[in-house]
Amino acid sequence: MSKSSSGNQSFDLEKLKELIEMMEDHGVTEVNLRNGDEQWRLRRGPAEVVQMVPQQVSAPPPAAAAPAPVAPAGGEPAAAAAPEGPVITAPTVGTFYSSPTPDDPPFVKQGAKVSSDTTVCLIEAMKVFNPIEAEVSGTITEVLVKDGDAVEFGQPLFRYQP
């Protein structure tokens, strides 16, 4: 990447692709480069996250099928699986991250007050980290997913009290 100072071009797509390939070839998960005013920060999830996606996809159908045959005895576990009260849901499929980096504190914790424009988490999809805003006002009463969990569209992420 030392050759990236060719001209005043701010983004060299070919060099970016080359860097991503090198990261994949060598198992590197995060790279921070700075050259003058230009800074590149690339971060990719571990391979285990990709393996978790099929597990998460297969988990909801058994949970949905189980409460029907076992209605009397399964009433309480079904209530625990489906959050009661208002929730903030995942607007996309991806990997849930509670903070911008592993060393940073979470965006929100239980008891945190949020407004509609408060960033509550990041969801990574195809190596792009998307900030997720609360889109509601209230207090977070429960965090329903863990860092690194694969999430589905519409999956509850946080329970809140308006």
Binning pLDDT at 50, 70 and 90, where does residue 45 land?
A: low
Binning pLDDT at 50, 70 and 90, where does residue 31 land?
A: confident
CA distance 123 to 47: 16
* Domains of the chain by residue range: 2-43, 47-161
With a cut of 80, say whether residue 36 has pLDDT above it: no
Binning pLDDT at 50, 70 and 90, where does residue 77 land?
A: very low
pLDDT 10s digits, 54-63 = 434 444 444 4
Residues 29 and 45 sit within 8 Å (Cβ to Cβ): yes
5 against 144, higher pLDDT: 144
Binning pLDDT at 50, 70 and 90, where does residue 82 land?
A: low
Identify the pLDDT of residue 3: 44
Query: Rounded to 10 degrees, what is the CA torsion of 87, 131, 102, 152?
Result: 50
Q: Report the CATH number of the 47-161 domain.
A: 2.40.50.100
